[in-house]
Amino acid sequence: MTWSATARGAHQPDNTAFTQQRLPAWQPLLSASIALPLFFCAGLAFIGLGLGLYYSSNGIKELEYDYTGDSGTGNCSVCAAADQGRAPPPPCSCAWNFSLPELFQGPVYLYYELTNFYQNNRRYGVSRDDEQLSGLPSALRHPVNECAPYQLSAAGLPIAPCGAIANSLFNDSFSLWHQRLPGGLYVEVPLDRSGIAWWTDYHVKFRNPPLVNGSLALAFQGTAPPPNWRRPVYELSPDPNNTGFINQDFVVWMRTAALPTFRKLYARIRQGNYSAGLPRGAYRVNITYNYPVRAFGGHKLLIFSSISWMGGKNPFLGIAYLVVGSLCILTGFVMLIVYIRYQDQDDDDEE
Amino acid sequence: MEREPAGTEEPGPPGRRRRREGRTRTVRSNLLPPPGAEDPAAGAAKGERRRRRGCPQHLADNRLKTTKYTLLSFLPKNLFEQFHRPANVYFVFIALLNFVPAVNAFQPGLALAPVLFILAITAFRDLWEDYSRHRSDHKINHLGCLVFSREEKKYVNRFWKEIHVGDFVRLRCNEIFPADILLLSSSDPDGLCHIETANLDGETNLKRRQVVRGFSELVSEFNPLTFTSVIECEKPNNDLSRFRGCMHSSSVLPVIPTGWTQLKAKGQAAFSVCQARSIHDNGKKAGLYKENLLLRGCTLRNTDAVVGIVIYAGHETKALLNNSGPRYKRSKLERQMNCDVLWCVLLLVCMSLFSAVGHGLWIWRYQEKKSLFYVPTSDGSSLSPVTAAVYSFLTMIIVLQVLIPISLYVSIEIVKACQVYFINQDVQLYDEETDSQLQCRALNITEDLGQIQYIFSDKTGTLTENKMVFRRCTVSGVEYSHDANAQRLARYQEADSEEEEVVPRGGSVSQRGSIGSHQSVRVVHRTQSTKSHRRTGSRAEAKRASMLSKHTAFSSPMEKDITPDPKLLEKVSECDKSLAVARHQEHPLAHLSPELSDVFDFFIALTICNTVVVTCPDQPRTKVRVRFELKSPVKTIEDFLRRFTPSCLTSGCSSIGSLAANKSNHKSGSSFLSTPSSDGMLLRLESLGQPTSAITSNSYSSQADDWASELAQEQEPDHELRYEAESPDEAALVYAARAYNCVLVERLHDQVSVELPHLGRLTFDLLHTLGFDSIRKRMSVVIRHPLTNEINVYTKGADSVVMDLLQPCSSVDARGRHQKKIRSKTQNYLNLYAAEGLRTLCIAKRVLSKEEYACWLQSHLEAESSPENSEELLFQSAIRLETNLHLLGATGIEDRLQDGVPETISKLRQAGLQIWVLTGDKQETAVNIAYACKLLDHDEEVITLNATSQAVMASDFAVPKFRYLERLLILHGHWCYSRLANMVLYFFYKNTMFVGLLFWFQFFCGFSASAMIDQWYLIFFNLLFSSLPPLVTGVLDRDVPANVLQTNPQLYKSGQNMEEYRPRTFWFNMADATFQSLVCFSIPYLAYYDSNVDLFTWGTPIVTIALLTFLLHLGIETKTWTWLNWITCGFSVLLFFTVALIYNASCATCYPPSNPYWTMQALLGDPVFYLTCLMTPVAALLPRLFFRSLQGSVLPTQLQLARQLARKSPRRHRTPKETSAQGCLPKDSGTEHSVGRTVSVPLSQPSWHTQQPACSPEASGEPSTVDMSMALREHTLLERLSAPAPRSSTPGDAVPGGCPEESKVRAASTSRVTPLSSLFSLPTFSLLNWISSWSLVSRLGSVLQFARTEQLADGQTGRGLAVQPHSGRSGLQGPDHRLLIGASSRRSQ
């Protein structure tokens, strides 16, 4: 039996900083003295940032027009009234005339905006088949159940593209005309409609099914278009790179909006004479009015907007930064008062 | 082998067998050939075969199996158990709801993932726990034990698990009984053995067990081969205090007595027949009682060896039957949390309902209007708004399920496990001496430690060292203050605290000066030696010492070396001398003055009025006596008459005892004793010792014996007699008498010898010993006095009872008046002793005339022989004898408090804990508690306790020493509570805030239960991204530094008052969560309003913002930032982005409906994303930060103040007075009256930093009710321990370890500061205190209760059985109080 004086007991715990809860630690104390500089610093930084954002947002121009066609709002009200009774509303067109007193700094983006349109409601949002949209032949023939009731046509053919989202595709179209001189001719402003979708959507997510005999129409043979569509998906555009599932309008539409009021990019204006923006003069937008929104109280808007480094016009962010920064400064001042008042007391205590 | 229902024997009508099966079990020796086998060899083979084949099912072997699962049963059984948790059922229900297409919110497989994850984690933990149980079982099953082997015809070592019913087992001293064993033979000539039952009931007194009647008379060594009896006993049951049976001493089948069946038919116990017959059957049939049964888990003490036959084994043992398996406890915090979870459920239902109604309206509004975004049902028909609402409701429940935090339960379990780990790992809670650290048995009530309001403490052995030391006495009305003895004890104390002493204390120095020169020399020497050997190797020494003292309990030097009072010593020696002269005269005692006569009787009573047995140290296991001298005690009147013919005094020439006593005194350096010692006599003693050893040494030289002799060689030969007492009080009195040269030298069962220097050996015929019981609170011996030949009764008992039994004394004659005066004086001194905290005992005497005795004897024998109610009759008989007593004196015994107990108590008092000390046995606890409450608390909230309180094994924590309680509660308890409370609050906040985001979105998506947050983020957010940082904070956060907590125990009150987690805090938290979610939703909403953002590109910044807000919120709430906090926070953010980037790049067409391909990548290129992510968390947390900072400055809580103080002036904590005075005390009064405090503190609380220099009697003179107890067992008393002023000031304690290094040093020093006496502590006791906390009715709050028990020798498992006072209102306790416990607790050994 030997006991060594230095031997550790079998149950002796390890004496490490961790096991003994002695890990070195930073122990901030939340009080006026520590919060004071924090609030001031954050406040100043935010106000600075807010000012920058505010001015940069203010530099962005926006021009919008509600072409829903509520009575007396322009010639679109005719189209709006016309679509009321008829089941597939008849083709109708209207126009929006406006004039720019000065250059609308480019690049200019053309958006359409829908309000009161719940693209984000659950049953709508799930009603799509991403595999079908990626051009998978099996999915083309057998859309997922989520697409129901737009999964199969009345004839029993698979709907391509299936689902409620595709079915409700926005189908108004716009063209922009510019009258360079008063009384002059209207020249069509080229609208670049190629890069409006996400690059990854257009190039990766959305693919047409493999062509059959070099024909997209044959590839889609045996499928039906969504009930609301007037033409099949492969005829969306004559441009082979913009038709079928990879039609840019379609791809943009399929990216469901976050909120019931949303914009979607329609075109970019950056070509030819208009690369610097829209020069001053009179403009007319010819609108092909197809999309019925008045039934559910929706509105359709057209928006021209320039963009900056932070995207579209967004006055909110700058204001928010200013407000939060001011609040920080305000609290900082309260803290200062508190600090002065109670620091004295603490000193008294210590003495 | 047991024959219970088996047909191997007792061929009888099946009906009878069945009855027998129901009531009794029959046990036969396994060594016998099975009945029916003609030749023994074949029988043996058969028997072996049977054993090898394994026993039939009813035959429980001694294998312990506490595991719950097997490999096969694990999965179903574990799942079944897990689904008992409502939360799990809920989560699975939600997950399964996703499989219903109409309402599903997530991909079904994905929704199941977190639930499966949680279930898997729990299953894994259960598996691990079960495995550790298996390991522990394995360890216990493979403990060794000597079992008689039929083949080898000797005892061989077997594993515990191999023991079967019917085996013969031989146990040696200090071994633990492996099964319930019927005692058949003991090395003790009287057929006795002593056991310690601390494992079972927590009582540390030794209990006496008797060999089965008929076997005790055996002259030769018990040979198991000759055992042919059949034992008939009860079926296994869990009643620890009851065992009945009988033994048919025949090799043939037992003849069932006529009337057996009839009796049973009448419903009477069969045992009454056995019992009645056994007494008269001259050993042919013997009744078996609980006195014959050695229970599994008990420890053999003070007895060399015993042999017994196993009656119950394994899970049929009483100990294991009492072990009703692990219980689960639920902490107060958890109950509160569950209540808040219910609020969350309500909130969830409300939100879902609101959404459902909203969606119904939305559907109603849009479906008829050809809304392009309206989707009809799959068959094209339109959905009715009501159906849509119902679906929406269910989907909302799924989407918002995060509100019921699935991760909360897992996180809490993880945090608790870590807390347990840290508590277990605390070096400062580690007792070096016994190599035991604090053990948490209950894994899920750690936070209750921070909310304790009441401590119910066992006194003896928990607060005290259980070392009873004779302190002072009163004889015949004269007080002998034993100042020198007091100094001696003070010195032990001093030696204890010597090493942690930093500041020299003037008081003790001056006192030292007042001691006689011899004394001080001795003292200095001792102190030095103590110090030196501690310094060299305290642990080794401690272990060694405790090994040595294994031989005899209650015999540390402190307990033995009493310094006599010179005055009294003189009187004793005067008695001795004059009696030596007068011994041959007619009435020797008459020559003494009444006072001296009392003195003499007093010491005789101290010496013999007990059950102390004398052993010789050379052969520690051998009693000093010769076996064939055995005489039977007075059995009949004839016997009595025969033996009471004038006898010669047996006092002979031998003076071994005095020699031994003197020797020891001499050795210890006491110069008060001047008795010469002689080496020649020493030799004689040694030679005397040899033959006795030869007699008892037996064929199997056990390891223990070898070891003992080895140890004996190691140490200096020490020839003093050892006293084996059943309780430390008895030993203390005998040692005290020895100090006065009145030495107990021998005790046989019928005579007891006392040695005096001049008078020589006096041998008293021991006629009766009327043992202690808790109702009489006294014990008596009836002896025949060798000097006077009179029959004397010496009674020793609690003063409250003995003083009432005294002979009425007339106030007419002078004698009577004198007596009266003596009594009142004695009573005064008793009160004084009590006030000093001494355990008081009265010693009285009664002289019986022969007629009186004969008369009493007649009735006593009748009582003894009465088959029924004999206990009651014997009790009555004892009462009859113990009257008309003559008071001799009183003693005061000190049971020293453990190291640091006063300081601990005073700190705990400051921490707002109500400390109740329970002493004594259970039966009267209730009454006394009620009494004590009335006495001490002028409050109507009296804790009434159920008298039917029963011992419940409920140890949740095991603390090596009482003083560790301070650190456990004030430090760990506070931290555990604060951490867990904050974490729970944080989880509620987190989930509410997260769910809030989703809920606000419903206003913009037609309440369609749509989510802008990708389902993957939704499901894994809690589990993955935001789980680790709160866990780390929950595990590691220290809201107040350790040193501040320890110097300011008042901070503990925050836990008691539930300051961290109140309903108010909860709702504030929820409100803040709502606000934050509103901010975190609306800022991205407005930032992206009127833009072309898509749903999930908008939702992802919201998740990111939420994550950042959570982390920053946690940052505000985290008090200590270790590198782990930083890393986990960073890791969380990193993990989120990594996972998001990988997830968003992994598959272009997967994960409908969000299909988040390239979303995060796109966002990372969007400045608005960064801008919102930067501002939103700041805006969301601004109010909280503002509020916290403001509160920290304007209205700091005590905890904040303490932190500020710790931060501002770390140096000031070296002067704790100032800290406590300035820092926290001012706020004290404010919190005093809050929740749950029903009992006010009536006594003025001595400020804890009061430093009193020494331990003079006055120093401990705080008003305290004092335990007045009786020798054998303490009488029940609940005392209110008013915080005693620290006996020795230990400023070292108060100095906090400022830096890690310092506390390290301190940890080392505290473990070294063990009192000298505890170096010689009880053998295998690891002095573990068992703590169990449970909550009484809510008004009382949490109660901490602990009783001392023993840890097993191997230290790996142990069990405590604590006397648990039940609240009278326990009916109000919810059943959940018993629900949760750590599975490894209450492990049977």
> What 3 state SS string does B1072-1096 have?
HHHHHHHHHHHHHHHHCCCCCCEHH
Nearest CA in chain A to B433: A9
Average pLDDT, chain B: 69
B1282 pLDDT more than 80:
no
The larger pLDDT score, comparing residue A231 to residue B544, is at: A231
Pairing relationship of beta strands B1342-1349 and B452-458 according to DSSP bridges: parallel
Flag whether A18 is in a domain. no
Q: Give me the half-sphere count of Cα atoms (radius 13 Å) on the Cβ side of residue B985.
A: 26
Cα dist from B826 to B777, B834, B1149, whole Å: 19, 12, 98
A324 in the same domain as A199: no
Closest CA to B1103 of B1047, B1191, B1019: B1019
Q: d(Cα B1290, Cα B1297) in Å, to the nearest integer?
A: 14
Let me know if B507 is exposed, middle or buried by CB neighbors in 10 A (0-12, 13-18, 19+).
middle
User: What single letter denotes the amino acid at residue B507?
Assistant: G
Contact between residue A161 and residue A233 where contact means Cβ atoms under 8 Å apart: yes
For residue B380, the chain A residues in CB contact (below 8 A) are 149
Based on the fold, state whether residues A219 and A288 are members of the same structural domain. Answer: yes
**Type of residue at B304:** D
Q: Which of B386, B1366, B536, B553 is nearest to B944 (CA)?
A: B1366
Interchain proximity A10–B1355, CB inside 8 Å: yes
Please check the confidence at residue B661 and state whether its pLDDT lies above 70. no
Q: Which residue of B has its CA nearest to A111?
A: B1092
Q: Tell me, what's the pLDDT at B1024? A: 85
- The answer to the question of residue A47 being in a domain is yes
Q: Is the dihedral of CA B1298, B1300, B1302, B1304 positive or negative?
A: positive
pLDDT score, position A86: 57
String of DSSP letters for B211-230: PPTTTTT--S---GGG---E
B174 Ramachandran zone, left/alpha/beta (phi>0; psi -120 to 50):
left
Q: Cα(B1186)–Cα(A333) distance, rounded to whole angstroms?
A: 11
Contact state of B1168 with A256 under an 8 Å Cβ cutoff: no
Q: Measured between alpha carbons, how far is B937 from B944 in angstroms, rounded to an integer? A: 13
Q: 3-state SS of B433-471? A: CCCECCEECCCCCHHHHHCEEEEEEECCCCCEEEEEEEE
Q: How confident is the model at residue A118 (pLDDT cuts 50, 70, 90)?
A: very high
Interchain proximity B1099–A258, CB inside 8 Å:
yes
Residues A320 and A197 both lie in one domain:
no
For residue A1, the chain B residues in CB contact (below 8 A) are 710
- Confidence tier at B622 by pLDDT (50, 70, 90): very low
- Check B1157 against A258: CB less than 8 A apart: no
In a domain, A17, yes or no: no
Examine the residue annotation and report whether B458 is marked as an active-site residue of this protein: yes
Residue B359: what pLDDT?
94
Q: Each residue of A63-80: pLDDT tens digit?
A: 989 998 887 777 788 888
Q: Do B425 and A19 touch (CB under 8 A)?
A: yes
Cross-strand pairs, A66: A301
State the smallest CA–CA distance between residue B1343 and chain A in angstroms: 27
Structure tokens at B1277: 């008393």
CA B862 to chain A, closest CA, distance in angstroms equals 55
When scoring B1033, B1089, B1193, B1352 by the number of chain A Cβ atoms within 10 A, the one with the most, hence best to mutate, is B1193
Do residue A328 and residue B1041 have CB atoms under 8 angstroms apart?
Answer: no
Say whether both A175 and A289 belong to one domain.
yes
For residue B615, the Cα-to-chain-centroid distance in whole angstroms is 31
Sign of the dihedral through C-alpha B234, B239, B244, B248: positive
Question: Is B976 or B1330 the better-scoring residue by pLDDT?
Answer: B976
Contact A324 B1178 (CB under 8 A): yes
- Name residues whose C-beta falls within 8 Å of residue B748's C-beta, 6 or more positions apart in sequence: B190, B625, B629, B630, B631, B766
Distance CA A25, CA B451 (A): 26
Among the listed residues B336, B325, B327, the one whose alpha carbon sits nearest the alpha carbon of residue B447: B336
Cβ partners under 8 Å of residue B510, min gap 6: none
Residue B860 identity: H
Residues of chain A with Cβ-Cβ distance to B1083 below 8 Å are 320
Domain match, A209 and A245 both = yes
Q: Is the per-residue pLDDT at B1317 higher than 80?
A: no
- With 60 as the cut, is the pLDDT of residue B10 above it? no
> Which pLDDT belongs to residue B1077?
95
- DSSP-derived letter for residue A104 is E
CA distance B829 to B841: 11
Task: Please answer yes or no on whether A15 and B427 come within 8 Å at the CB atom.
Answer: yes
What is the enclosing helix (H) or strand (E) of B706? helix B703-714
Q: How far apart are CA B200 and CA B1363, in angstroms?
A: 11
DSSP character for B189?
Answer: T
Q: Which residues touch B348 (CB under 8 Å, ≥6 apart)?
A: B397, B400, B401, B403, B404, B995
Per-residue pLDDT band for B641 (boundaries 50, 70, 90) equals low
Give the nearest partner residue to A19 out of B422, B1009, B1203, using CB atoms. B422
Same-domain status, A88 and A213: yes
| pLDDT at residue number B490 | 74
Q: Which of A113, A131, A164 is the closest to B1149 by Cβ?
A: A131
Q: Calculate what percentage of chain A has a pLDDT beyond 90.
A: 45
Is A22 domain-assigned? no
Among B458, B565, B899, B1072, the active-site one is B458
pLDDT digits (tens, 9 = 90+) for A270-297: 888 888 889 988 999 999 988 888 888 8
Decide: helix, strand or coil at residue B822. Answer: helix
- Asked if B300 contacts B1352 with a C-beta cutoff of 8 angstroms, the reply is no
pLDDT surpassing 80 at residue B336: yes
For the stretch B365-414, pLDDT in tens is: 888 777 888 888 878 788 889 999 999 999 999 888 888 877 788 888 88
Domain that holds residue A83: 65-306
Average pLDDT over residues B684-694: 34
The answer on A282 and A249 residing in a single domain is yes
Rounded-to-integer distance, Cα B282 and Cα B73, Å = 54
Are B1153 and A146 inside 8 Å of each other by CB?
Answer: yes
Residues A259 and A231 in one domain: yes
Q: Is residue A94 part of a domain?
A: yes
Contact call for A21 and B1042, based on CB within 8 A: yes
Residues counted in chain B: 1389
Do A173 and A144 belong to one domain?
yes
B1144-1153 pLDDT, tens digit per residue, is 998 888 877 7
pLDDT score at B865 = 77
Over residues B290-312, the pLDDT tens digits come to 888 888 888 887 778 888 899 88
Question: Which residue of chain A comes nearest to B1194, CA vs CA?
Answer: A342
pLDDT at B244: 83
Q: A313 and A187 in one domain?
A: no
Q: How many CB atoms within 10 Å of residue B800?
A: 15
Q: What is the pLDDT of residue A78?
A: 82
Give dist(CA A290, CA A174) in Å, integer: 11
Q: How confident is the model at residue B207 (pLDDT cuts 50, 70, 90)?
A: confident
The model's pLDDT over A264-276, given as tens digits with 9 standing for 90+, comes to 999 999 888 888 8
Q: Is residue A299 part of a domain?
A: yes
Residue A25 belongs to some domain of the structure: no
Instruction: Indicate if A281 and A140 belong to the same structural domain.
Output: yes
| Nearest C-alpha neighbor of B658 from the set B593, B719, B597, B578 | B719
pLDDT tens-digit readout, B63-97: 888 888 888 888 998 888 888 878 888 888 888 88
Query: Within a 13 Å sphere around the CA of B416, how many CA atoms are in the beta-carbon half?
Result: 26
Measured CA to CA, the distance from residue A20 to residue A8 in angstroms comes to 17
Longest dimension (CA), chain A: 117
Mutation pick from B139, B373, B967 vs chain A, by most beta carbons of A within 10 Å, is B373
The residue whose two tokens read 């004290």 is B1228
Q: What pLDDT, on the 0 to 100 scale, is given for residue B327? A: 55
In a domain, A35, yes or no: no
Could you tell me if A95 and A285 are in contact, meaning their C-beta atoms sit under 8 angstroms apart?
yes
Judgement on whether residues A50 and A191 belong to the same structural domain of the protein: no
Query: Which region among B485-494, B541-550, B821-830, B957-966 has the lowest average model confidence (pLDDT)?
Result: B541-550
Instruction: Give the single-character DSSP code of B1295.
Output: S
Measure B1241 CA to nearest chain A CA, in Å. 29
Whole-angstrom CA distances from B402 to A103, B407, B415, B994, B1020 are 52, 9, 20, 8, 10
Q: Do A317 and B1087 touch (CB under 8 A)?
A: yes
Count of structural domains within chain A: 2
Q: Which residues pair with B180 in a beta bridge?
A: B312
Q: How far apart are CA B355 and CA B336, in angstroms?
A: 29
Q: Tell me the chain A residues in contact with residue B374 when contact means C-beta distances shorter than 8 Å.
A: 124, 296
Hey, what amino acid is at B397? I
pTM beyond 0.90: the answer is no
User: Does the ipTM surpass 0.90?
Assistant: yes
Of the candidates A120, A136, A263, the beta carbon closest to that of B1095 is on A120
Mutate to test the interface with A, among B355, B710, B1078, B1091 (most CBs of A within 10 A): B1091
Minimal C-alpha gap between B1224 and chain A (Å): 13
